């Protein structure tokens, strides 16, 4: 009888662990897709390793595409939500919108729709903020950067104010194009995200 109770207890523990396991969906552009890198060394792959090290059973799904804009992410999101049914959606988009000079208001509208759809699907949302190089002019760069803070406040979602904090503007941490983080920067990107992401797991 004692053996039976032990076996039943172990089975219930396993069921509880499986029920607790979730999915983290990353919807981003080239920075999260690992452009120019061995993807196994990108920050998203490092995130999966960190989850395991910290005792989380969550699975990371990387739905990032190099060159993607917020409009592209918005178009792809419904299928990704339906397929993966994520518990957490990390949105890392906007850089390409800015580099193409697209209106910040359009970026805000697209990201807002992504947040709303993710929440409607039962997921928590983490927004990763971006900033543009100063050569785009103070008026545009300020309006662009303010999109993320305004959205985080309006939609009540956690925000990493600048995903490339400590990386952007440091040539030794960037690839030759000075747009994409190098291998040596991937751990820093993870550290920028982890403190805000962990409470959502």
- Residues assigned a catalytic role: 30, 177, 180
Exposed e or buried b per residue across 44-73, where buried means at least 16 C-beta atoms within 10 angstroms of its C-beta: bbbbbebbeeeebebebbbbbbeebbbbbb
Q: At what angle do helices 186-197 and 43-53 cross, to 10 degrees?
A: 50
Query: What whole-number distance in Å separates Cα of residue 30 and Cα of residue 35?
Result: 5
Kindly provide the residue ranges of all beta strands, DSSP E only, lying in 29-181, ordered along the sequence.
59-62, 88-92, 124-128, 159-160
Structure tokens at 90: 């990390």
- Cα–Cα distance measured from residue 58 to residue 51, given in angstroms and rounded to the nearest whole number: 7
Beta strands 59-62 and 88-92 are unpaired
In contact, 66 and 30? CB cutoff 8 Å: yes
């Amino acid at each position: 009888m004692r053996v039976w109770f032990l076996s039943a207890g172990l089975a219930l523990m396993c069921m509880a662990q499986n029920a607790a396991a979730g999915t983290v969906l990353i919807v981003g552009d080239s920075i999260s897709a690992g452009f120019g890198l061995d993807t196994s060394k990108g920050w998203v792959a490092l995130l999966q390793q960190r989850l395991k090290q910290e005792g989380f059973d969550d699975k990371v799904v990387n739905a990032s595409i190099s060159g993607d804009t917020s409009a592209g992410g918005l178009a792809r999101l419904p299928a990704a939500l339906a397929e993966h049914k994520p518990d957490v959606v990390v949105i890392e988009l906007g850089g390409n919108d800015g580099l193409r000079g697209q209106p910040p208001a359009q970026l805000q509208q697209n990201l807002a729709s992504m947040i709303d759809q993710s929440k409607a699907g039962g997921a928590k949302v983490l927004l990763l903020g971006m900033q543009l190089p100063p050569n785009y002019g103070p008026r545009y760069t300020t309006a662009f950067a303010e999109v993320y803070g305004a959205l985080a406040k309006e939609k009540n979602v956690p925000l990493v104010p600048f995903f490339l904090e400590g990386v952007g503007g440091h040539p030794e941490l960037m690839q030759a194009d000075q747009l994409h983080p190098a291998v040596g920067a991937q751990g820093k990107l993870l550290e920028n995200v982890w403190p805000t992401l962990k409470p959502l797991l």
